Structure 1
Amino acid sequence: MKDSEEAELCFPQHLNASCSKTMHPPSVSLLIYIALSFISFLTVTLNLLVIISISHFKRLHSPTNILLLSLAVSDCLVGFLISFQIVLTDGCWYLGDIMCAIYFILDYIITTASIGTMVLISVDRYVAICYPLHYSSKVTTERAKMCVSLCWMIAFLCHSLLLKDSLQKPGRYNSCFGECVVVLDYVGGIVDLLLSFIGPVSAILILYVRVFVVVVSQARAMQSHVAAVSLQGSVKITVKKSEMKAAVTLGVVVVVFLMCTCPYFCVILMAEDAAVSASSVTFLLFYFNSTLNPLIYALFYPWFRKSVKLILTLQILKSDSSDAFVM
């Protein structure tokens, strides 16, 4: 009986202080392990394809793709973070309190940078659709790189400050050995909520509504000129189709983003304090958004399918492959 009780503890040597394991049937534990491993592998692989494509092919070095590259980097790192959840299959954290604190800080920084990049992409599409004549002068590759750098710097500085207590005194909020928990104070929780959810969602929704209004007005104008056969009319129709596609893509992003992140932030809002456990199911759903991002952003573009084909067939190993026409 004693052996059975000890087997249910994360650290049997700490009988009265150890957390209890989450006991699953072997088949369930195996299913969880396989599912998490697959999601982690898929997230890393898809985002690596985006990273290699944009980095390697010179024709893809545009402001919009610089933003996509930042998103892919953050989401690829999230794929590696998912592997930590595999350790928590039985509900126990075996990597120590310091690694727990580092894990959470990295998690907050990376996911916030990912969300921030989504806002930048929305701004990019807003300017391209609503102010097309000024787009090339206002949105440049250098400015895109600067905005991406600021996004990562802000995410790093803010969450390093918000979680500095957990790093200075790791494990201070754990109720037992084998637990991985961090706590944000009231002000820190509000700041994180504004920075990681309310602010980005508000910005994306406002920009999308504006884009939608412009696209609808232009679609009506296009219908009134549908019988025109001049070259100018053909160009207008082509532009409007691309704008509509951008609006639809952005709409999908908004819906998926809300579906993946709202449960996590609802749990935070309903909790008495801002305590977050590394084993939370809402964390996994939050992570899964990073798996979907490359599918939503990259697979909507023909250049991605062409570049993936060149990557998988090892054509990128050729000396002149970086100049390949993939647009």
Structure 2
Amino acid sequence: METLEEAELCFPQINTSCKKQTRPQSESMVMYILMSSISLLTVVLNLLVIISISHFRQLHTPTNLLLLSLAVSDFLVGFLVMPFHILYTEPCWFLGDLVCVLYYVLNIMIVYASLLHMVLISVDRYVAICDPLRYSTKITQRRVKICVLLCWIYCVFLSFLFLCDNLKQPGRYNSCYGQCVINIIGALDLVLCFIIPVSTIVILYLRVFVVAVSQARAMRSHITAVKLQSSVTVTVKKSDLKAARTLGVVVAVFLMCYCPYYCVSIYGSDFISSANLFLVFLVYFNSCLNPLIYAFFYPWFRKSVKLIVTLEILRPQSCDSNMMKETTE
């Protein structure tokens, strides 16, 4: 990578202005095209998920409601967070101190919402696999809606809590005019936004994995208990195991995208600043990957996308279409 060369001031009319840094035009062009393309793809793919689950009544299950809310947060990452991040990579910040703080408020709120939705999905799969007989009574649509609402409220509260000082006096941590710098207690961010939720996700899915493996072995061995069950019960269990596997892939990809940023941040601000652009965008890129995973594992999602693209959802009663015809999901 070429060394950035100093150029004129960001705001020549202001003595305290930051110095503008320039980068090779080819490098900037490639970066902007790549980041803009990923942002647009994230918006389109998650919009398809939102329309699919919202429109087709057969997809209104507790698990899919969690996926719907996760898709909303991923959509907002592509629609709001990524475009602002592209502007943030510019040598100078021209949108003012207040917009800088509000950008970080949106950033923390939306990205942390995605993280908490992963926790809720892990809890959903844990109950479905480890306590299947009481799943329908424990995990209801009403309870899921309440949990999703509380999740978003908590994320809004946490984002304002983290940036309270910055909101009181925007720009107080800038060393020169034209910067966008905020102050967050690193230890608090690491514990609340990474260690606690990620530990919860890993522990729950380890338990799900152990139970799923034991159930799979029991089915293959055709033990007496499995033979006595009805075919419907076995189908439900297979469906739950498949859903757990699919959402396990979602969680695994999520951890691969989030862990590098927080692991590197432990080494200090100097190290993280040098790799900040790539690691932060890797976190955002996870929002683009989730719909691709659905498309690969969920036949109902592929079918719904086909109906959306061909505009068949505009037909009367299209919301009652049978989306499970090709799958037991």
TM-score, normalising length: structure 2: 0.88
Partner of 1:265: 262
> How far has the Cα of 1:239 moved from its partner?
4.2
Partner of 2:64: 65
Further displaced range: 240-249 or 132-141: 240-249
Partner of 1:45: 44
- Of 202, 207, 221, the residue aligned with 1:205 is 202
Change (3 A) 1:223 1:26: same
Partner of 1:10: 10
Further displaced range: 316-325 or 120-129: 316-325
> How far has the Cα of 1:251 moved from its partner?
3.3
- Give the distance between the partners of 2:214 and 2:301, measured in 1 at CA: 30
Change (3 A) 1:88 1:161: closer
Write the deviation string for residues 193-217 of structure 1: whole angstroms up to 9, x where unpaired. 2221111111111111111111111
- What SS does the corresponding residue of 2:92 show, helix, strand or coil? coil
- What SS does the corresponding residue of 1:47 show, helix, strand or coil? helix
Partner of 2:327: none
Partner of 1:313: 310
> How far has the Cα of 1:127 moved from its partner?
0.8
Does the 8 A contact of 2:119 with 2:201 survive in 1? yes
- Give the distance between the partners of 1:54 and 1:159, measured in 2 at CA: 28
Task: Specify the code of the residue in structure 1 equivalent to 2:197.
Answer: P
> Unaligned regions of 5+ residues in structure 2, if any?
325-329
Change (3 A) 1:124 1:229: closer
- Give the distance between the partners of 1:156 and 1:278, measured in 2 at CA: 27
Does the 8 A contact of 1:91 with 1:279 survive in 2? no
Partner of 1:178: 178
- Give the distance between the partners of 1:129 and 1:59, measured in 2 at CA: 22
Q: What are the residue-to-residue correspondences of 1:6-155 with 2, within 5 Å?
A: 7-14=7-14, 17-21=17-21, 23-80=22-79, 81-155=81-155
Write the deviation string for residues 52-105 of structure 1: whole angstroms up to 9, x where unpaired. 111111111111111011100001000021011222343322111110000001
> How far has the Cα of 1:125 moved from its partner?
0.9
Following superposition, which runs of at least 4 residues in structure 1 exceed 4 angstroms of deviation? Answer: 5-8, 226-237, 275-279
Write the deviation string for residues 147-171 of structure 1: whole angstroms up to 9, x where unpaired. 0001111111122122111111111
Change (3 A) 1:119 1:200: same
Does the 8 A contact of 1:215 with 1:243 survive in 2? no
Task: Specify the code of the residue in structure 2 equivalent to 1:99.
Answer: V
Does the 8 A contact of 1:215 with 1:240 survive in 2? no
Partner of 2:161: 161
> How far has the Cα of 1:173 moved from its partner?
0.9
> Unaligned regions of 5+ residues in structure 1, if any?
none
Further displaced range: 296-305 or 106-115: 296-305
Change (3 A) 1:226 1:12: farther
- Give the distance between the partners of 2:248 and 2:266, measured in 1 at CA: 25
> How far has the Cα of 1:307 moved from its partner?
0.7
2:289 matched to 1:292?
yes
- Give the distance between the partners of 1:87 and 1:103, measured in 2 at CA: 11
- Give the distance between the partners of 1:68 and 1:24, measured in 2 at CA: 40
- Give the distance between the partners of 1:175 and 1:281, measured in 2 at CA: 24
Change (3 A) 1:228 1:262: closer
- Give the distance between the partners of 1:204 and 1:319, measured in 2 at CA: 41
> How far has the Cα of 1:277 moved from its partner?
10
Task: Specify the code of the residue in structure 2 equivalent to 1:208.
Answer: Y
Does the 8 A contact of 1:71 with 1:114 survive in 2? yes
Partner of 1:218: 215
Does the 8 A contact of 2:105 with 2:163 survive in 1? yes
> How far has the Cα of 1:191 moved from its partner?
2.9
Further displaced range: 117-126 or 250-259: 250-259
> How far has the Cα of 1:228 moved from its partner?
12
> How far has the Cα of 1:18 moved from its partner?
1.4
Change (3 A) 1:229 1:258: closer
Does the 8 A contact of 1:50 with 1:294 survive in 2? yes
Write the deviation string for residues 241-290 of structure 1: whole angstroms up to 9, x where unpaired. 434423432432333222211222134322269x9899733211111111
